[in-house]
Homo-oligomer: A and B are copies of this chain.
Amino acid sequence: MQALFFDVFGTLVDWRTSIAHQMAPHTDEPEAFADAWRARYQPGMEEVRAGRRPFVPLDILHHESLGETLRKFGLSVSEPLQWEMTLYWHHLDAWPDVAEGLLRLAPQALLAPHSNGNLRLMVDLARHNAWQWDAILGAEITGHYKPAPESYLKAAALMMLDPAECAMVAAHNGDLAAARALGFKTCFVPRPREHGPGQSVDLAPEDDWDIVASDLVDLADKLSETGL
């Protein structure tokens, strides 16, 4: 295994707490707002995946779904502020283990985010959280939203690696299942509070993933002990 590809929303960053914190000045229900905004994430991408619209970067989908969410909550917000809110996703805080975990993983493999977020969103998250990547991969670079196979395959090809030389790291069983089906190695890092205290999904591994780690520091330890 020569490269680790990381899911970002949920796996590396606590988007729910960070979005709620930034929305708090604008609504009395910031956590519910974050959940409602995020609930429109997969349907927005599905329009692209299904071929019903050409590829657009995630910022555009976030802006559209923000408008819908604001209407649902009965909030009236100026267009400039709506763009500012869209960029809240560029300023999400990492889970506390991520910075140290990435530093420990860097000597063991090439590291790249492979997220549905656009390139500048990843650049801003890296600066915000002091991450160092070898490259930014992901949907905007590959032209496909995960879990489309082309997304994973093009990411590996850009790194001049076969899928078996790459491992996907994610807190979501579905992301890993899509990667494994193409020959990628798989690392599951559960994030049981991604969706808040009532989370009911992705609490445990749903397949025999190659590595199951409690966080990124544990992943670095397990990887150095066992290889992959």
Contacts and interface: CB of A to CB of B under 8 A. Distances in A.
Nearest to A120: B160
Interface in A71-105: none
Interface string A130-172: 0011111000110000000000000000111000000000000
A219 interface: no
A123 interface: yes
Please give the count of copies of this chain that the complex contains.
Answer: 2
B141 A123 contact: no
Contacts of A123: 110, 134-135, 159
A127 interface: yes
A136 B120 CA distance: 11
Contacts of A132: 132
Nearest to A90: B160
Given A126-B134, A132-B132, A140 B119 contact: no
8 contacts: A110-B127, A118-B158, A120-B158, A123-B135, A123-B159, A126-B134, A132-B132, A135-B135
Contacts of A122: 135
Nearest to A161: B120
